[in-house]
Amino acid sequence: MTVQMTSAEAPAARASGAPLASGFSDPRRTSVPVLLVFLLPALLVYAGLTAYPAFRTIYDSFFTIEGLERIPVGLSNYAALLQDETFWVAVRNTFIWSFVAPCLDVATGLLLALALYAGVPFARFLRIAWFTPVLLSYVVVAILWMWIYNYDWGVVNVALRAVGLDGWTRSWLGDPNFALASVIVTHAWKWAGFNMVVCLAAIHSLPSEVLEAAELDNCGWGAKLRHIIVPMLKPTLLNLYVLAFIGKMKVFDLVWIMTGGGPLWATETVSTYVYKRAFNWNTFDLGYPSAIATVWFGVVCAAVILLNKAFKSKDRLEY
Amino acid sequence: MAVVQLDKICKRYGGAGPVAVDDVDITIGDGEFMVLLGPSGCGKSTTLRMIAGLEEISSGTLSIDGRIVNHVPAKDRDIAMVFQSYALYPHMTVAENLSFGLKRRRVPAVEIERRVRDAADILGLSSLLERKPHALSGGQRQRVALGRAMVREPMVFLFDEPLSNLDAALRVNTRNELIRQHHRLASTMIYVTHDQVEAMTMGTRICVMNGGKVAQIGAPLDVYWQPADTFVARFLGAPPMNLFTLPVASDGERIGGESVGGPLSRWSEAARGPYVGREAIFGVRAEDLHLSAAAAEGDGGRIRGRVFAVEPLGAETLLAIETEGGVECTARLPRDVTARPGELVELHFAASAGYLFDKATGKAIPADAAVGGVAGRPVLGTMQ
Amino acid sequence: MQAHRQMPRLFGRGALALVIGAYTVYTLGPFLWLATMSVRNTGEISADHYAWPNPWRWEQFRVAWVDSDFATYFWNSALVVVTAVAVVTLVGAAAAHALARYRFRGNRVIYGILFSSIIFPPQITLISLYQILVDYNLYNSLLGLTLVYISLQLPLTVYLLEGFFARIPQDLFDAAKMDGYGDIEIFRRIVLPIGMPAIATTLILNFIQLWNEFLFAVVLITDPEKRTLPIGIRAFMGDHFQDIGMIAAGVMISVIPVILAYAFFSEKLIRGMTAGAVK
């Protein structure tokens, strides 16, 4: 079959650099200049504002940097890191957050989605209403919940006192034993709607005939959930877990505004600690926080890779 | 006795909404293979799902084995269903798919194993038991779906267009497999399809549905030779029956004119009386048309027209002609027939080959059994 | 046709309603409380934090808007976010198209590099970006912040759009090639129009994330006139620490545009924000 080349194609074929004998230009290949036009802006942005700064931070971690002074200190920043109690408290807090909270997030999202899927009235309204906190900025959420947690007149304590549980009232953000949990609850409040919407979409995408077959196989709601719905949702649920995990490893805004990392580092996270050491410390050294950032970067990458390996489903749920 | 009875079953969506199934009356006897046949949207799948319990019945009664089951949940109706998409559990192996329903019903493990093994043997799945559905071909998945229904040993099997996702060759094989299983199990089976070949070959009886209503129920050949209306007449048979709207002669002896017409000798005076001097629909099947008058055993009718398509199929030839009145007509002729587009031809048919339908309602006007009747033409049976 | 979903039995239905009601109060309650407090002054609030507003002090909104420079914060946020979103979507779409459509050596490597930076914790770039911006005199400038915002959203944009663009059938491109269209024209005339739904959802997602962005804004902007909205609200809260009514009014002002957009575009917003999460 001979291919007639239009006059527009002929130059394109020549320009593409790959001299195919038949003169046919593969639409899936193009010339380097064209590729550059598409890719260069993105690559420049990435190189200049993401890759270079990342490398520079890693590089900086081997220095002590004060203003314009740079003193190479080898690995001493890292050695100091190992001894830094605050750092380890921050790591512990962040890990608690990152591993535990996503379980709650995903479970809540799934349960809420199932409640809507069961066909309650006003399901559309509820879905929109429950999603609202996701859109609010962390600042708004923080202010709202600081008021809710207020010892004297916040919703929580007022409600406890109203039912006579005075003994249970606490300074939710001021008590080192409860501060972390309180902030976690607030964070979950904001994100529950997100997980709910994703789970709901996933449930709706399940083939209805499989669910009907389960009904004919003597499955009530509980059995359908256990044997069919949750197993088939596994990829989505695991994906949500990883997304939540990544998000919590990075958390800064909420903690910073609600507690600033206090009281007594009860809510200190790695993010807040890095910020403090870089911009809020009595010394101006930027090398040490760079070391923290580098270590944390490694930890996050390793954790995500491990999680992905652990969650990789060997069977594709093709349906 | 797994008799399934539908009495005036209706399905209405949303109170006063569109009616999907309208006043359907069907009785399916024990061990019958009943095919619900019709085009998309005719209500056959909805009817099946109402029998299964997957759709609510708006009005009417459904009984299985003498028991009214309108409000009995699907799982308690002792039925099993094979879905169009097979609906296998994608995260379970074949063995788990087969045994899941039984486990949920607390059948003893030994019994489950026996049934699964037997079904796998019969359907040739024994080597596939540890595979997951995504590793199976379409035909294999289909057999697993069938096996899943079989192990339940239900009173009634329901099939929702199970062959439509298979390629042509596989469809023929699986069709025969299903017929074999029906003979082996002797269970009541209700089968939904839009494919008339499946209906004709598999069903002990066919129920043709159109627009939510039952058009006709009967044995395949009865429905074929004595369609109850123009819809059934054209739905069964490929190519579809040729229909002409023609005037009835003033003496009632003939219908049509010189170029397209035939005798009405088979109809009694009473039957054709109302149509004298008015128009009626006349039908002739493609296979009843011949090129020579002799082959049509004389005294029949004729259709004259210009050829516009010749389709040699190897075993036979299809000839499509257009009459002077602009009506298209297809004939099924022996394979040695040659004709050229543009040629003027005359097709002949025997007196016994015509059908008459009311123009307004489309309903068939039955011929008088006593008059006419040709060897080989099946005797008029009772129509339900 | 939806299968008939049997509702749980009566007891289950009651418990379900209770749970749903409670959760709705839990979700919307704080916001309604905020709304009532925003039209009461602090004296009234201190007396009873949960009373119904009486009278409705709408002038608190005017005071908050005028006194606190909210207009400036809005404008700054709008400028930075709209510019950043426009640029990142265009740049990301171009890259996504190239990665999705063309075969070349290093395609998957480049995609992997861009995509994997989604998991980078912000600190790894934060400190250096701070130094870089200072070096280039872009510190404490809206331009600097815009550039950083572009880089923040690039990986996500490329990820979402590459997935969508890859699903556009190759036939369209073959036909366009045969009609003599050049590669860039194809991008303009085929990919952008057809990819509009995905581009829209990416736009929404980027917009919301950047509109609420806090960490980089706090580090890279110090001038009060250059504050973006989240920083502005935070400063406002600091300034009026005990004046709860005023803070509530200020927060309401910042929230109302989002709520309005949500009221009109809830479906698009929801879909945009959850794009890429359903597997």
Residue of B nearest to A315 (CA): B91
Going by their DSSP bridges, the two strands B188-193 and B33-37 should be labelled as parallel
- Chain B, window 33-52: residues with a beta carbon less than 8 angstroms from a chain C beta carbon: 46, 49
Most confident of B128-137, B255-264, C36-45: B128-137
Higher pLDDT, B243 or C277: B243
H-type alpha helices, chain C: 10-38, 42-47, 59-67, 70-101, 107-116, 123-135, 142-166, 170-178, 183-186, 192-194, 196-211, 215-220, 229-239, 244-273
Q: Which residues are bridge partners to B159 per DSSP?
A: B82, B191
The residue among C136, C140, C146 whose CA lies nearest residue C87 is C146
**Mean pLDDT of all residues in A254-279:** 89
What residue ranges do the domains of chain B occupy? 4-225, 238-357
Chain segment A43-101, per-residue pLDDT in tens = 999 999 999 999 999 988 888 888 777 888 888 888 888 999 999 999 999 999 998 99
User: What one-letter code names the amino acid at A69?
Assistant: E
Average pLDDT taken over every residue of chain C: 86
Partners of B54 on chain C (C-beta within 8 Å) are 3-4
List of domains in chain A: 86-266 (1.10.3720.10)
**Mean pLDDT of all residues in C162-182:** 88
CB of A171 less than 8 A from some CB of C = no
Is the alpha carbon torsion for C239, C243, C248, C250 positive or negative?
Answer: negative
- Backbone phi, psi, residue B82, to 5°: -110, 120
- Compute the nearest-CA separation of A149 from chain B (Å): 45
pTM of the model: 0.81
Q: Are B73 and C4 in contact (CB < 8 Å)?
A: no
A18 pLDDT higher than 50? no
Are the C-beta atoms of B377 and B221 separated by less than 8 Å? no
User: What dihedral do alpha carbons B110, B113, B116, B119 form, nearest 10°?
Assistant: -70
The residue among A182, A158, A188, A190 whose CA lies nearest residue A259 is A182
The residue among C202, C212, C105, C87 whose CA lies nearest residue C147 is C87
Are the C-beta atoms of C95 and C114 separated by less than 8 Å? yes
Cα–Cα distance for residue pair B292/B366, rounded to 1 Å: 27
Most confident of A143-147, B247-251, C15-19: A143-147
Exposure pattern of B152-178 as b/e (b: 16+ CB <10 Å)?
bebbbbbbbbbbeebeeeebeebbebb
DSSP type of residue C117: G
- Compute the nearest-CA separation of B215 from chain C (Å): 24
A120 pLDDT higher than 80? no
Q: Residues in chain C whose beta carbon is closer than 8 A to a beta carbon of chain B?
A: 1, 3-4, 6
Partners of C1 on chain B (C-beta within 8 Å) are 46, 49, 55
Chain segment B63-75, per-residue pLDDT in tens = 998 899 999 988 8
B252 pLDDT higher than 90? no
Chain segment A276-308, per-residue pLDDT in tens = 988 888 778 888 899 999 999 999 989 888 888
- Compute the nearest-CA separation of A237 from chain B (Å): 15
Average pLDDT taken over every residue of chain A: 84
> For chain A, what is the HEC assignment?
CCCCCCCCHHHHHHHCCCCCCCCCCCCCCCCHHHHHHHHHHHHHHHHHHHHHHHHHHHHHCCEEEECCEEEECCCHHHHHHHHCHHHHHHHHHHHHHHHHHHHHHHHHHHHHHHHHHCCCCCHHHHHHHHHHHHHCCHHHHHHHHHHHCCCCCCHHHHHHHHCCCHHHCCCCCCCCCCHHHHHHHHHHHHHHHHHHHHHHHHHHCCCHHHHHHHHHCCCCHHHHHHHHHHHHHHHHHHHHHHHHHHHHHCCCHHHHHHCCCCCCCCCCCHHHHHHHHHHCCCCCCCHHHHHHHHHHHHHHHHHHHHHHHHHCCCCCCCC
C5 pLDDT higher than 80? no
pLDDT score, position B50: 93
- Chain A, window 72-101: residues with a beta carbon less than 8 angstroms from a chain C beta carbon: none
pLDDT band for position B339 (cuts 50, 70, 90):
confident
Structure tokens given for A85: 């109690």
Cα–Cα distance for residue pair C236/C60, rounded to 1 Å: 14
**Mean pLDDT of all residues in B90-113:** 92
CB of A217 less than 8 A from some CB of B = yes
Chain segment A31-47, per-residue pLDDT in tens = 888 888 899 999 999 99
**Mean pLDDT of all residues in C135-163:** 92
Enumerate neighbours of C (3 or more CB pairs within 8 A). A, B
pLDDT score, position A25: 67
pLDDT score, position B222: 92
Q: What is the percent of chain B with per-residue pLDDT over 90, rounded to a whole number?
A: 51
Cα–Cα distance for residue pair B119/B197, rounded to 1 Å: 27
Residues 6+ apart with CB under 8 A from A95: none
Q: Are C7 and A118 in contact (CB < 8 Å)?
A: yes
- Compute the nearest-CA separation of C215 from chain A (Å): 6
Going by their DSSP bridges, the two strands B254-256 and B260-263 should be labelled as antiparallel
Are the C-beta atoms of B352 and B263 separated by less than 8 Å? no
Interface test with A, best of B89, B144, B159, B192 (most A CBs within 10 A): B89
pLDDT score, position B297: 66
Helix, strand or coil, per DSSP, at residue C103? coil
Q: Are C233 and A250 in contact (CB < 8 Å)?
A: no
Using CB atoms within 10 Å of the CB of residue B270, give its burial: 0 to 12 exposed, 13 to 18 middle, 19+ buried: exposed
Chain segment B285-322, per-residue pLDDT in tens = 999 888 887 766 667 888 999 999 999 999 999 999 99
Exposure pattern of B73-100 as b/e (b: 16+ CB <10 Å)?
ebbebbbbbbbbbbbbbbbbbbbbbbbb
Chain segment B109-131, per-residue pLDDT in tens = 999 999 999 999 988 899 999 99
User: What one-letter code names the amino acid at C47?
Assistant: A
Cα–Cα distance for residue pair C86/C159, rounded to 1 Å: 17
Are the C-beta atoms of B362 and B206 separated by less than 8 Å? no
Helix, strand or coil, per DSSP, at residue C130? helix
Using CB atoms within 10 Å of the CB of residue C145, give its burial: 0 to 12 exposed, 13 to 18 middle, 19+ buried: buried
pLDDT score, position B133: 92
- Angle among Cα A153, A154, A156 to the nearest 5 degrees reads 125
pLDDT band for position C7 (cuts 50, 70, 90):
low
Length of chain C as a residue count: 279
Quick one: residue B373, left, alpha or beta (phi over 0 = left, psi -120 to 50 = alpha)?
left
User: What one-letter code names the amino acid at B48?
Assistant: L
Q: How many CB atoms lie within 10 A of CB A278?
A: 23
Cα–Cα distance for residue pair A279/C219, rounded to 1 Å: 8
Partners of A133 on chain C (C-beta within 8 Å) are 27
Q: Are B134 and A316 in contact (CB < 8 Å)?
A: yes
Structure tokens given for B81: 């269903």
pLDDT score, position B141: 92
> Which superfamily is assigned to B238-357 in CATH?
Nucleic acid-binding proteins (2.40.50.140)
Are the C-beta atoms of B10 and B21 separated by less than 8 Å? yes
Q: Are C102 and A275 in contact (CB < 8 Å)?
A: no
pLDDT band for position A15 (cuts 50, 70, 90):
very low
C3 pLDDT higher than 60? no
Cα–Cα distance for residue pair C270/A200, rounded to 1 Å: 12
Higher pLDDT, A4 or A117: A117
Residue of A nearest to B101 (CA): A217
Q: Are A54 and C278 in contact (CB < 8 Å)?
A: no
Q: What is the percent of chain A with per-residue pLDDT over 70, rounded to a whole number?
A: 90
Q: Residues in chain B whose beta carbon is closer than 8 A to a beta carbon of chain A?
A: 52-54, 73-75, 79-81, 83-85, 87-91, 100-101, 104-105, 132-134, 148
Q: Which CATH class is domain B4-225?
A: alpha beta
- Backbone phi, psi, residue A308, to 5°: -60, -40
Cα–Cα distance for residue pair C108/C114, rounded to 1 Å: 10
List of domains in chain C: 10-63 (no CATH), 69-239 (1.10.3720.10)
Chain segment B134-178, per-residue pLDDT in tens = 999 988 999 999 999 999 989 999 999 999 888 888 888 888 888
Structure tokens given for B162: 């199970």
pLDDT score, position B369: 60
- Angle among Cα B358, B360, B365 to the nearest 5 degrees reads 15
Cα–Cα distance for residue pair C183/B301, rounded to 1 Å: 66
pLDDT score, position C180: 86
Q: Which residues are bridge partners to B346 per DSSP?
A: B304
pLDDT band for position A146 (cuts 50, 70, 90):
very high
Cα–Cα distance for residue pair B20/B25, rounded to 1 Å: 14
pLDDT score, position A23: 47
Enumerate neighbours of B (3 or more CB pairs within 8 A). A, C
Q: Choose the closest CB to B101 out of A212, A217, A231.
A: A217
The beta-carbon contacts of C196-201 under 8 Å, at least 24 apart in sequence, are C197/C164, C198/C160, C198/C161, C198/C164, C198/C165, C198/C275, C199/C89, C199/C93, C199/C161, C200/C268, C200/C272, C201/C160, C201/C268, C201/C271, C201/C272, C201/C275
Structure tokens given for B100: 């899941």
CB of A69 less than 8 A from some CB of B = no
Cα–Cα distance for residue pair A97/A91, rounded to 1 Å: 10
| Angle (deg, nearest 10), helices A179-204 and C10-38 | 120
Q: Choose the closest CB to A213 out of B83, B105, B134.
A: B83
**Mean pLDDT of all residues in B340-356:** 88
